[in-house]
Amino acid sequence: MKLIIIGFMASGKSTMAKILSQKWQLPSHDLDQMVQQNAGMSIPEYFKKYDEAHFRALETDTLGMALKQTGILSTGGGTPMREVNFDAIQNQSAPVVFLNASDQTIQQRLIHDGASSRPLFQKLGMDGMMQLKHRRQLTYERLADRIINVNNENPVFNADRLVDKLGMVTNG
């Protein structure tokens, strides 16, 4: 893997991976999409049929497969929370970038996208999502080599800012 993108739900990980993939002419891999392929169903369906613990086990297995690929990886918002996943990501030589969006930005996007694609939003509601976001923040910060504050700037502009910050990683 050349770059690993982490961050809370709706921070823009999948969008960023696609933009960088075009910019760098590298494949992008979206962990949620890979999980869905492995499961043979959508993530909301999987949560309904099984439960979150089963989803997390499948996510860990799929992460192992994803980390063997080359290119850019967008993770799921919960991926770094399991210690085994955190360690697997940290052990990669690829830089890890945390897309850090404000509560307000996440709230707007969750409302805009609707709850149907995010089972945890269905379960926890907005207050629960914000509490989850705050609980996870430190783990994202610990795992990240670089933190990019992202809100509703043009996503291509955010990708350019990320590349600038990464230059500092690769060039020392």
Ligand X SMILES: Nc1ncnc2c1ncn2[C@@H]1O[C@H](COP(=O)(O)OP(=O)(O)O)[C@@H](O)[C@H]1O
Ligand Y SMILES: O=C(O)C1=C[C@@H](OP(=O)(O)O)[C@@H](O)[C@H](O)C1
Kindly list the residues in this chain that would bind ligand Y in the complex (CB under 6 A): 9, 13-14, 32, 43, 76-78, 118-120
Provide, rounded to whole angstroms, the least separation between the CB of residue 87 and ligand Y.
18
Degrees, nearest 5: CA angle 102-108-112: 145
**In angstroms, how far is the first alpha carbon of the chain from the final one?**
19
Q: How many residues bind ligand X (CB under 6 A)?
A: 16
Closest to Mg ion by CB, 13 or 133: 13
Say which residues have a Cβ less than 8 Å from residue 131's Cβ, sequence separation at least 6: 124
Are 80 and 98 contacting, i.e. CB atoms less than 8 angstroms apart? no
Closest to ligand Y by CB, 116 or 164: 116
Q: Find the DSSP H helices in 43-154.
A: 43-49, 52-66, 83-90, 103-113, 119-143
Say whether residue 15 binds Mg ion (CB under 5 A). no
| Three-class secondary structure of residue 21 per DSSP | helix
CA dihedral 8, 153, 90, 85 (to 10 degrees): 30
Provide, rounded to whole angstroms, the least separation between the CB of residue 27 and ligand X.
17
Say whether residue 10 binds ligand X (CB under 6 A). yes
Say whether residue 113 binds ligand X (CB under 6 A). yes
Say if residue 142 carries a ligand binding annotation.
no
Closest to ligand X by CB, 12 or 172: 12
Say which residues have a Cβ less than 8 Å from residue 64's Cβ, sequence separation at least 6: 88
Q: Which does 12 bind (CB under 5 to 8 A by kind): ligand X, ligand Y, Mg ion, none?
A: ligand X
Closest to ligand X by CB, 32 or 172: 32
**Phi/psi class of residue 76: alpha, beta or left (left: φ > 0; alpha: ψ in -120 to 50)?**
beta
Binding-site residues sit at: 10-15, 32, 56, 77, 118, 136
Binding residues for ligand X (CB under 6 A)? 7, 9-15, 74, 109, 112-113, 152-153, 155, 158
Binding-site residues for Mg(2+) sit at: 14
